[in-house]
A and B are shown apart, each in its own frame.
Chain A
Amino acid sequence: MVGKKAVKERTRSASRSAFIAGVGKWIFVGIMIVFTIYPIIYTVLGSLKTNVELTQGGGFLPSEWHFENFYQAFVEADFVRYTGNSIIVSTAVTALAVITCSLAGFILARRNFVGKKVLLALYMTMMFVSLGSVTLYPIYELLQALKINKSLVGLIIALTGGQAANVFLVMGFTKAIPKELDEAAIIDGCSLYGVYSRIIVPLSKPILAVVALFAFRNSWNDYITSLIMTIAVPKLQTLTVAVVQLKYSVNAAAEWHIMLAGASIAIIPILIVYMLAHKQFIAGLTAGAVKG
């Protein structure tokens, strides 16, 4: 009897401590969630307020929903053009990254060729040598010499870059695909190109999706490369560059609402992509970092 009571008592105290632990957990997680999400909500709600409301202090929600801020940003601040540029650049960079990484990753995983070891060593070295943004200058000079610095093509090339990390990612993934599949296809009369397009590409869709997702995110969000490659021709600016330039406009102090409307235009598309593919984003991060 006594033992039973003690057991009951113990389970009750255990469940109570579990309850307290649960409350403690959600207080901590709740604080972190508020910390994380507050600047984003501020941006989106702020884009619908007036400048006076933003700078003089108003409520959390806009007193009136000023959707005309977006009209002003799109039309008067020319954001239609910048949005178009961003869409073109991100799409092209994503496509280029996926195609070039997939081709290179496949051949590095499957064939031995003259100079392969040197190339692998070079790619590896470049992953660890980080000279930072100063390398944009020689790239800009090169694009200037090729006369493609005054179009989006130059920016697309500069933003895609060598993709060394992604090449290794695709190479690793391809190595895990059984070689017997290639051999069977070759016996059935497939050429190397056939093996690549009919066997390898369909099977490496998961890793190519990761490459695509991160290439899209990086190009959509990029600031410094886009800033420098459009220095000569401001009408080629992408959204992020145009938004940040608002900070330096003559009447910046009176345009907080336009800045926030611009910021919202820049972050909402990527938010939508994230809502659709948040699992892939999170899984892709660990595929690239921890395993590599």
Chain B
Amino acid sequence: MKGKQAALRPMQRKKAVIKNLQAYSFMLPNLILFAACSLYPVIWTLKYVFYQYGGYGTGEPLFVGFENLARVFRDKVYWESVLHTFTYGFGKLILILPLAFFLALLLNEQKKGNGLAQSIVFLPTIMSSAVMGLVFYLLFNAYNGEINKYLMEAHIIDQPINWLGKDHAMKTLVITAVWGGVGNYMVYFIAGIQQVSTDVIESAKIDGAGRLQSIWYIILPMLGPILKIILMLAITSAFNDITNVMVLTEGGPNNATMVMSLYGYKYFFPVSATQAAVPQYGYGAAVSVISAVIAGAVTVVYLKISKKLDDIY
């Protein structure tokens, strides 16, 4: 009996090893990519927060402790870029969410024309924000752009507006962000509205609720849980937007549209082909880590607030 058990155990162990190996043969292709492209870069960045390093040919990385982090806190341009990120994100949210919500309300029923309208409004979502950034660069050009041309022909303005100049660049950026995102959020809202049972809306109608009343008292409150997710997605994506800023304004003029994601990038790579970069990898890493912490903190605060709102309802 005893001998039999002893003989069984190595066999069981062997079986378990084979099972694990088998499982890892499925995991491995993805795991390699994950380790190389997600895990390793994050560890690398966390390490270089504490180093001064300029890349190949500039000598060995120098350990500087918390110097990089301290420098971030002293860096006025960085904190301006944080402010710009909030301005940009807030501007984008405040425009995109109501527009997307109304589009969803108007287009969610399965009616002729609604599907087509949905598909068209969703179109920008599938376009390259870099390529469209270039197109917007031409459209918003102060002297040759079509936007100014139409506005002047319609006598809305007498002088061409310098859309990409210091005063307007941020507004222009927000407009292009709304263009690129409104269809996306419309689809989220439609998914939410369709989960509100039509029976509830019907019965409200029978009880004499008007259109606006049923929106305000039924659809909006019942949309609560999904609205929370939509807002969360909107906030996190606003922190990550970088391509359109990079192509359209390059963070300029004079840092007027510098957002924190692009500010960290600047210390690694040239922002445009006309600028030369002086890489400061350690400092860039510190900037990005602090930016990630700020984005994370905003998300946590948002989650706390939205939980409080839940308790009220």
What residues of chain A have their CB less than 8 Å away from a CB belonging to chain B?
A: 21, 25, 28-29, 32-33, 35-37, 39-40, 42-43, 46, 54-57, 96, 99-101, 103-104, 106-108, 111, 113-114, 116, 119, 122-123, 126, 128-139, 142, 157-158, 160-164, 167, 192, 196, 217, 220-224, 228, 231, 239-241, 243-248, 256, 259-260, 263, 266-267, 270-271, 273-274, 278, 281-282, 285-286, 289-290
Given A131-B288, A161-B33, A290-B188, A281:B137 Cβ within 8 A: no
B289 within 8 A of A: yes
Q: Is the CB of B27 within 8 A of A134?
A: no
Given A100-B29, A221-B128, A56:B261 Cβ within 8 A: no
Q: Is the CB of B134 within 8 A of A221?
A: no
Q: Is the CB of A224 within 8 A of B243?
A: yes
Among B22, B131, B179, B289, chain A packs the most CB atoms within 10 A around the CB of: B131
Chain A residue contacts of B31, Cβ below 8 A: 104, 119
Q: Which of A114, A217, A290 contacts B192 (CB 8 A)?
A: A290
B310 within 8 A of A: no
In the complex the two chains form, what is the Cα distance from A67 to B270 in whole Å?
35
Closest Cβ of chain A: how far from B26's Cβ, in Å?
Answer: 4
Given A164-B34, A247-B247, A290-B191, A99:B29 Cβ within 8 A: yes
Given A21-B211, A134-B284, A157:B179 Cβ within 8 A: no
Which of B61-69, B73-81, B101-109, B164-172 is near enough to bind chain A?
B101-109
Chain A residue contacts of B137, Cβ below 8 A: 247
Please name the residue on chain A nearest to B35 by beta carbon. Answer: A162
Q: Is the CB of B240 within 8 A of A132?
A: yes
Given A131-B41, A290-B192, A101:B183 Cβ within 8 A: no
Q: Is the CB of A113 within 8 A of B19?
A: yes
B273 within 8 A of A: yes
Closest Cβ of chain B: how far from A267's Cβ, in Å?
Answer: 6
Which chain B residues in 28-87 approach chain A with CB under 8 Å? 29-31, 33-42, 44-45
Q: Is the CB of B135 within 8 A of A113?
A: no
Given A101-B30, A162-B34, A248-B273, A36:B121 Cβ within 8 A: yes
Please name the residue on chain B nearest to A213 by beta carbon. Answer: B126
Q: Top 9 A-B pairs ranked by shortest CB distance?
A: A223-B130, A135-B41, A162-B34, A221-B128, A162-B38, A113-B23, A107-B26, A138-B44, A104-B30
In the complex the two chains form, what is the Cα distance from A227 to B129 in whole Å?
14
